[in-house]
């Protein structure tokens, strides 16, 4: 475990606390918004604006981090924004203020993502990146288990007391910020000349980036365009007859599997190959979606969510480790920030596309189309994207 450095531990603990706070609110957010007068359409607009904000800011702040040579201030500020947004959502109930508070949360994610992942990349060698990113994902996703579980426990004793949960979620958020204060920037990192960083300057990286990176990004973003929100999986489970408690239970189960497998699969990926592990994860994803299109059995649903957790563990951290091995070290935050930014926008489009297919045809059509598209993307990544030596 020598490859899990002090900095990796701190970043992982920070992510654990932050995800606990965020996921504590995830299951009840739509219920709370409806209770203060938000319509379904307004909720959709709110989430769309929030994701678009996160998407644009990930690319910009990743580029800014590379330009300044600094990482830690972006990480600390990003987590601070997310922590502050929690009580703000409870204090202000007017739509404009709710939009402001929710956008602050996603803006914080945009500020920190590129710089944080660049730090993780710097703390690893090309031979240990799967382990490092996998360990971080395990700790991060453990928060997605603890958060909903704590929310369920609180609501069991205090039904429909949603607002208090936002104040409770502020506690792990503050702990995350406090832990981030122990991070220190690498003094050996070259600080670049102070140049302006226009909002869309990260888009210029596309033409300057390695061809292997561009090919990989095309495949990753094509997959994201068909990888709609997990809400559709939960809706399919609901349609098949699972009650609300079982749906929340299966969501927690999925995150638990994800958390348990991310680190071990990261270890395997370093030996087996990042590309091979990622493609194996996509193959599991396709299997899950084909299964969702055809099954109505409760037991099969739990099996599919188990495989879905393994898929997430085999791809989420691995994709960023794969990217970081393809680009120059000085451009890591820009490369990952650009990917994460476009990924946010593609995810929003994917959910809109899935909703349209579900409405016009039927639920099974969504999963069949996504499964077939995933098989085509696997073929593209297999033959169009070659494994290359890490850039330094």
- Closest among 392, 311, 321 to 128, alpha carbons compared: 321
Q: How many CB atoms lie within 10 A of CB 300?
A: 14
In a domain, 156, yes or no: yes
Q: Can you give the pLDDT at residue 237?
A: 80
Rounded to whole angstroms, the Cα distance separating 124 from 167 reads: 36
- Closest among 376, 379, 336 to 117, alpha carbons compared: 336
Give 134-143 pLDDT, tens digit per residue. Answer: 999 999 999 9
In a domain, 239, yes or no: yes
In a domain, 199, yes or no: no
In a domain, 194, yes or no: no
Q: Which two tokens stand for residue 51?
A: 């994701």
Give 251-276 pLDDT, tens digit per residue. Answer: 889 999 999 999 999 999 999 899 99
Length of the chain, in residues: 392
Give 132-191 pLDDT, tens digit per residue. Answer: 999 999 999 999 899 988 988 888 888 878 888 889 999 999 999 999 999 988 766 555
The total domain count for the chain is 1
Contacts of 21 (CB under 8 A, 6+ apart): 82, 83, 86, 143, 147, 169, 170, 171, 172, 173, 176
In a domain, 203, yes or no: no
Annotate 288-326 with DSSP letters as a single string.
HHHHHHH---HHHHHHHHHHHHHHHHHHHHHHHHHHHTT
Rounded to whole angstroms, the Cα distance separating 179 from 13 reads: 7
Contacts of 391 (CB under 8 A, 6+ apart): 210, 325, 326, 327, 328, 329
In a domain, 186, yes or no: no
Number of H helices, E strands in the chain: 15, 0
Q: Can you give the pLDDT at residue 304?
A: 93
In a domain, 320, yes or no: yes
Q: Are 19 and 140 in contact (CB under 8 A)?
A: yes
Q: How many CA atoms lie within 13 A of 381 on its CB side?
A: 27
27 DSSP assignment: T
Q: Can you give the pLDDT at residue 105?
A: 86
Residue 95 domain boundaries: 6-181+208-384
Tokens 């899950």, residue located: 288
Q: Can you give the pLDDT at residue 21?
A: 92
Parts of the chain with a pLDDT under 70: 1, 27, 30-31, 40-41, 43-45, 47-48, 187-203, 244, 387-392
In a domain, 222, yes or no: yes
CATH number reported for the structural domain that contains residue 22 in this entry: 1.20.1250.20
Q: Is 92 helix (H, G, I), strand (E, B) or coil?
A: coil
């Amino acid at each position: 475990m020598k490859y899990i450095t002090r900095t990796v531990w701190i970043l992982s603990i920070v992510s654990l606390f932050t995800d606990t706070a965020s996921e504590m609110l995830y299951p009840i957010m739509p219920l709370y918004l409806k209770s203060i007068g938000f319509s379904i359409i307004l909720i959709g607009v709110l989430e769309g604006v929030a994701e678009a904000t996160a998407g644009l800011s990930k690319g910009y702040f990743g580029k800014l981090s590379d330009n300044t040579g600094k990482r830690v201030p972006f990480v600390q500020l990003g987590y601070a924004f997310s922590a502050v947004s929690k009580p703000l959502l409870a204090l202000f109930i007017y739509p404009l203020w709710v939009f402001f508070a929710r956008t602050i949360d996603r803006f914080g994610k945009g500020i920190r993502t590129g710089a944080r992942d660049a730090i993780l990349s710097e703390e690893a060698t090309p031979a240990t990146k799967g382990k490092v990113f996998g360990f971080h994902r395990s700790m991060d996703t453990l928060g997605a288990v603890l958060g909903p579980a704590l929310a369920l426990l609180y609501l069991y004793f205090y039904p429909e007391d949603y607002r208090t949960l936002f104040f409770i979620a502020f506690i792990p958020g503050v702990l995350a910020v406090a832990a981030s204060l122990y991070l220190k920037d690498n003094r050996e990192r070259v600080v670049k000349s102070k140049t302006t960083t226009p909002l869309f300057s990260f888009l210029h990286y596309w033409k300057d980036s390695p061809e292997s990176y561009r090919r990989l990004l095309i495949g990753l973003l094509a997959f994201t365009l068909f990888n709609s929100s997990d809400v559709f999986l939960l809706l399919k489970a609901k349609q098949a007859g699972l009650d609300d408690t079982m749906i929340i239970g299966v969501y927690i189960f999925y995150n638990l599997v994800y958390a348990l497998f991310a680190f071990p699969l990261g270890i395997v990926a370093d030996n087996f190959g990042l590309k091979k592990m990622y493609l194996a994860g996509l193959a599991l994803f396709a299997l899950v979606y084909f299964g969702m299109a055809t099954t109505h059995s409760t037991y099969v649903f739990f099996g599919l969510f188990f495989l879905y957790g393994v898929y997430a563990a085999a791809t989420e951290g691995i994709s960023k480790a794969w990217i970081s091995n393809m680009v120059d070290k000085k451009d890591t935050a820009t490369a990952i920030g650009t990917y994460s930014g476009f990924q946010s926008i593609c995810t929003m489009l994917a959910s809109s596309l899935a909703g349209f297919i579900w409405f016009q045809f039927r639920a099974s059509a969504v999963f069949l189309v996504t499964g077939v598209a995933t098989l085509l993307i696997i073929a593209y990544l297999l033959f169009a994207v070659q494994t290359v030596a890490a850039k330094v």
